[in-house]
């Protein structure tokens, strides 16, 4: 079967299941006896197994199969969940992840899994031996008779169930061919032909394709739905020559379910499964209730939709212009209605591109767990607001910065259990990861109950690294001191803490967040803990900008980087080191003439008043000189295309209401 | 079987100065009239800027300038040919778009050493028709992005 067309879906779904497995395993560690979690894991493993087998990734299928077995054992209390077990299971899922990644990057997903598989099997078997002893002989016998069919799926079971209701019989037929049979395939074909006349073959072991290729010894079994009695069937099959024997038994669906469960059940009696059936279906119902009805849509299609919508907006602008010129009441009314509908449409299109931040957060519990283990610390992570939604483009970018902040919190915030005991804190540290909406922004907070930031240490180190002078340091507020740890020169020399030093990578975090149009702030109390709060725009594609004019050319400056606009007179501009500067609220801010930056001929050299836009990059500021301000506007950020990438001080473009393109200024590039 | 290798190739013929150039239609998205171009600063001289092409911001280069022919003012016959190459979408400004014709691949010859004013590097080959000489452009060489940054650094100095 050609499966390439399904590959994308396979990878997507596998990743979802692996993610679910990770998540559920961690939940399981906390509530080892929660049946619902075990069921979920079992289901994910089972689906993954089925998918990978269909796609022909055998290693993946084998490993998931082993995993499934373990959970089958857990499901029926043959194995009890322990912490070490979770380690092994997480490791197994790691392997699955590696395989799927390999497949995603074009490999065949093969990996040496014998080690893990063996350990998993031991995990399952160790307990199985105990089980076998306590299983009654009768049960064993029962299992043996019906063990030929072990993986009848729900669909097939439902057919079998139905047939019973309609007065048909289900038979399990085992046919043994003579050992001197020459054309096994042909005989099988003949038997099947007989069977098809008698009723319907639901399933065969080995599978039909294997039978056709003669990939079997001399026996094969089928499940047949028929209204004939067993004797007649046996007679008819025996008419085919070269058949040694035919065994026919009624096949009962309830028995199948019972045997399947009793096969693994330890302490449960045979009649127990009937009781079990009740709560289980209830759980499934709840499960399906929680699932939202969704469809997968390629993100590119959403982009196209967005583009088309923007064209509509541009045309709408024109229509509005025309209708106000013509002053026709009917026209005006319908244009107004169109305006309202299109703003609703805009909201929907924007929310369609939003995905829950859970996509990023879901991998953190696993990471935190591993990191805490590596550092011999005990850390719990509490996630609040995982369903907070953010634009797809932002989601893709914020993963790494948050990982950095979490590492930082575990590495330097949370103390070792001993230290925490001495301080009278609970041994286990807690990290709270919180996301919520506020206005046009999303806030993400990383809060730890660790040691907090030592102000004096930070200050003395900043002074030692020449980040600021003693006099400057006196004027700093507490927050400003904390924020020093995110300065780029802060942690280069020796280290505050033993491992990597608070501050490693924090400057990178800060830059990334700022490049996304966001900001980060720190609050901390010594011995109580720290809070890092990140503020991000809801979407990167629609941003608020200030439109400015430079010699008839229009440029847009993102509001997120603007502190304020001002008009300064000639006397307020000073010269320092041959550079023009202004005094902005007690700070010396260099003046940058945008016309020089963008190579625009400077016509009005010596005017009395100059319009400036004060922009910031972290703590640094610059005053950009423009001809005039046009106004604030929400615009759609567009790229200049791959032909024009990396243009100095231009981060993209946007299409204005009149259909013209305006470039968006990247003030971060202008401030050195 | 040799006669079968001479397949037909559909090309768009356009004018630059006195010469006729051709690009395979497969690489062409559309032909547009000249419209307002937003200048993009700090790029090579032949990059004229970007236009709004039905909601997509599309870079525009002046093909005369790109090939080292002196630039002229744009007029009624000036066209922008939108071409696709890999994931790039770029508009080329030409003097006029003449027609679409089928040429047989066996009349395409490699570029001779001396041909008009255009640098031989940008030429894929030439096709001789009865009274016309078509120069087939090598879009990949014309749209190389390396040269933008190279020229940018030169200009920056």
The chain-wide mean pLDDT, for chain B, equals 82
**So where are chain B's domains?**
2-156
pLDDT of residue A131: 40
pLDDT of residue B93: 93
In the numeric block, which tokens belong to residue A338? 């169109």
What average pLDDT does range A106-132 have in this prediction?
67
* pTM for this predicted structure: 0.50
Burial degree of A218 (CB within 10 A; 0-12, 13-18, 19+): middle
For A598, nearest residue in chain B (alpha carbons): B41
- Residues A107, A87 share a domain: yes
Q: What is the pLDDT of residues A168-192, one digit of tens each?
A: 778 888 888 887 777 777 778 788 8
pLDDT of residue A223: 82
Judge whether residue A412 has pLDDT over 50. Answer: yes
Q: What is the pLDDT of residues A435-452, one digit of tens each?
A: 988 766 788 999 988 888
- Residues A574, A426 share a domain: no
Distance from CA of A390 to the nearest CA of B (A): 24
Rounded CA separation A311/A415 (Å): 56
Q: Is A590 within a domain?
A: yes
The lowest-confidence range among A66-70, A172-176, A274-278, A576-580 is A274-278
For residues A352 and A548, the model is more confident at: A548
Look at residues A310, A337, A352 and tell me which one is the last residue of a structural domain.
A352
Side-chain half-sphere exposure of A171, counting CA atoms within 13 A: 25
Total domain count, chain A: 5
CATH at A77: 1.20.120.160
- Residues A530, A547 share a domain: no
b/e map B95-126, b = 16+ CB within 10 Å: bebbeebebeeeebeebeeeeeebeeebbbbb
What average pLDDT does range A219-238 have in this prediction?
81
Judge whether residue A499 has pLDDT over 50. Answer: no
Confidence of residue B6 (pLDDT cuts 50, 70, 90): low
Look at residues A507, A537, A567 and tell me which one is the last residue of a structural domain.
A537
Q: Is A142 within a domain?
A: no
Judge whether residue B61 has pLDDT over 90. Answer: yes
- Residues A528, A396 share a domain: yes
Q: Is A614 within a domain?
A: yes
- Residues A530, A415 share a domain: yes
- Residues A382, A251 share a domain: no
Q: What is the pLDDT of residues A476-497, one digit of tens each?
A: 788 788 888 887 767 643 444 4
Answer left, alpha or beta for residue A6, where phi above 0 means left and psi between -120 and 50 means alpha.
alpha
- Residues A170, A259 share a domain: yes
- Residues A492, A516 share a domain: yes
Q: Is A199 within a domain?
A: yes
Best-predicted range by mean pLDDT (A166-175, A192-201, A344-353, A362-371): A362-371
What average pLDDT does range A304-310 have in this prediction?
80
Q: Which of residues 15-54 of B touch A (CB under 8 A)?
A: 36, 38-43, 47, 49-52, 54
Order the strands of the B108-109 sheet from edge to edge. Answer: B96-104, B8-16, B19-24, B133-137, B123-128, B108-109
The dihedrals phi and psi of A188, each to the nearest 5 degrees, come to -60, -45
Confidence of residue A292 (pLDDT cuts 50, 70, 90): low
CATH at A158: 3.30.70.1110
For residues A414 and A467, the model is more confident at: A414
The chain-wide mean pLDDT, for chain A, equals 77
CATH at A492: 3.30.565.10
Interchain contact B154–A (C-beta under 8 A):
no
- Residues A617, A590 share a domain: yes
Q: Is A45 within a domain?
A: yes
Distance from CA of A357 to the nearest CA of B (A): 29
Please tell us whether the domain made up of B2-156 is placed in CATH 2.40.50.180.
yes
Catalytic residue among A17, A19, A29, A46: A46
pLDDT of residue B13: 92
- Residues A304, A273 share a domain: no
Instruction: Find the domain containing A305 and state its range.
Output: 299-352
pLDDT of residue B153: 40
For A648, nearest residue in chain B (alpha carbons): B42
Judge whether residue A25 has pLDDT over 90. Answer: no
Q: What is the pLDDT of residues B87-107, one digit of tens each?
A: 789 999 999 988 898 888 888
What average pLDDT does range A216-244 have in this prediction?
80
Q: Is A575 within a domain?
A: yes
- Residues A328, A249 share a domain: no
pLDDT of residue A276: 43
Distance from CA of A318 to the nearest CA of B (A): 15
Indicate which of A644, A649, A666 best probes the interface with B, i.e. most B CBs within 10 Å of its own CB: A644
- Residues A491, A365 share a domain: yes
């Amino acid at each position: 079967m050609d499966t390439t067309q399904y590959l994308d879906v396979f990878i997507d779904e596998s990743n979802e299941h692996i993610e679910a497995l990770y998540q559920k395993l961690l939940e399981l560690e906390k509530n080892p006896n929660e049946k619902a979690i075990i069921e979920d894991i079992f289901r994910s493993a089972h689906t993954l197994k089925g998918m990978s087998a269909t796609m022909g990734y055998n290693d993946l299928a084998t490993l998931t199969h082993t995993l499934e077995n373990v959970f089958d054992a857990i499901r029926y209390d043959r194995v009890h969940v322990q912490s070490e077990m979770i380690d092994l299971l997480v490791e197994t899922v790691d392997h699955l992840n590696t395989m799927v990644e390999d497949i995603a990057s074009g490999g065949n997903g093969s990996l040496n899994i014998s080690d893990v598989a063996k350990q998993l099997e031991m995990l399952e078997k160790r307990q199985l031996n105990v089980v076998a002893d306590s299983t009654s002989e009768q049960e064993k016998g029962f299992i043996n008779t019906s063990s030929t069919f072990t993986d009848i799926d729900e669909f097939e079971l439902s057919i079998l169930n139905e047939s019973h209701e309609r007065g048909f019989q289900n038979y399990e037929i085992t046919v043994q061919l003579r050992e001197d049979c020459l054309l096994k395939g042909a005989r099988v074909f003949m038997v099947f032909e007989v069977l098809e006349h008698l009723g319907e073959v639901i399933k065969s072991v080995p599978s039909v394709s294997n039978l056709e290729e003669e990939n079997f010894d001399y026996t094969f079994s089928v499940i047949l739905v028929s209204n004939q009695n067993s004797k007649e069937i046996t007679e008819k099959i025996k008419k085919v020559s070269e058949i040694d024997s035919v065994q026919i038994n009624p096949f009962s669906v309830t028995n199948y379910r019972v045997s399947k469960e009793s096969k693994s059940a330890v302490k449960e009696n045979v009649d127990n499964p009937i009781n079990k059936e009740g709560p289980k279906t209830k759980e499934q119902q709840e499960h399906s209730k929680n699932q939202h009805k969704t469809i997968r849509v390629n993100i590119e299609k959403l982009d196209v939709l967005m583009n088309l919508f923007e064209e509509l907006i541009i045309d709408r602008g024109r229509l509005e212009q025309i209708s106000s010129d013509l002053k026709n009441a009917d026209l005006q009314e319908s244009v107004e209605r169109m305006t309202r509908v299109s703003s609703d449409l805009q909201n929907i299109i924007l929310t369609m591109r939003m995905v829950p931040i859970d996509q990023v957060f879901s991998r953190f519990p696993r990471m935190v767990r591993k990191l805490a283990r590596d550092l011999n610390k005990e850390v719990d992570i509490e996630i609040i607001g995982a369903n907070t939604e953010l634009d797809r483009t932002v989601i893709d970018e914020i993963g790494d910065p948050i990982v950095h902040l979490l590492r930082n919190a575990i590495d330097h915030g949370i103390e070792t259990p001993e230290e925490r005991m001495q301080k009278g804190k609970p041994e286990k540290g807690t990290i709270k990861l919180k996301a919520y909406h506020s206005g046009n922004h999303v806030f993400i907070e990383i809060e730890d109950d660790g040691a907090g930031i030592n102000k004096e240490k930070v200050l003395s180190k900043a002074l030692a690294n020449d980040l600021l002078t003693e006099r400057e340091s006196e004027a700093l507020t507490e927050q400003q001191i904390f924020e020093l740890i995110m300065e780029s020169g802060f942690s280069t020399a020796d280290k505050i803490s033993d491992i990597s030093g608070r501050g490693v990578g924090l400057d990178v975090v800060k830059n990334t967040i700022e490049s996304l149009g966001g900001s980060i702030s720190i609050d901390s109390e010594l011995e109580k803990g720290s809070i890092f709060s990140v503020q991000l725009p809801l979407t990167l594609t629609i941003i608020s900008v200030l439109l400015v004019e430079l010699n008839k050319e229009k440029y847009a400056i993102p509001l997120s980087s603007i502190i304020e606009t001002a008009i300064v007179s000639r006397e307020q501009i000073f010269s320092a080191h041959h550079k023009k500067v202004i005094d902005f609220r007690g700070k010396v801010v260099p003046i940058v003439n945008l016309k020089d930056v963008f190579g625009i001929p400077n016509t009005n050299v010596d005017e009395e008043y100059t319009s400036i836009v004060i922009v910031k990059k972290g703590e640094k500021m610059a005053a950009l000189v423009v001809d005039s301000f046009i106004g604030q506007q929400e615009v759609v950020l567009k790229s200049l295309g791959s032909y024009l990438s990396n243009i100095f001080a231009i981060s993209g473009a946007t299409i204005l209401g009149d259909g013209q393109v305006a470039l968006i200024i990247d003030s971060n590039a202008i401030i050195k | 079987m040799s006669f079968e290798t001479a397949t037909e190739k559909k090309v768009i013929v356009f004018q630059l100065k006195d010469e006729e150039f051709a690009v395979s239609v497969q690489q062409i998205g559309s032909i547009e009239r000249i419209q307002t171009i937003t200048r993009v600063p700090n790029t090579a001289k032949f990059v004229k800027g970007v236009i709004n092409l039905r909601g997509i911001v599309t870079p525009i280069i002046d093909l005369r300038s790109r090939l080292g022919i002196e630039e002229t003012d744009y007029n009624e016959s000036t066209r922008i040919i939108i071409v696709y190459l890999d994931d790039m979408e770029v508009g080329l400004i030409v003097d006029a778009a003449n027609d679409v014709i089928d040429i047989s691949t066996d009349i395409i010859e490699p570029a001779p050493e001396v041909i008009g004013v255009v640098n031989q590097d940008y030429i894929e080959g030439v096709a001789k028709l009865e009274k016309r000489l078509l120069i087939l452009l090598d879009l990949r060489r014309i749209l190389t992005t390396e040269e933008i940054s190279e020229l940018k650094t030169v200009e920056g100095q």
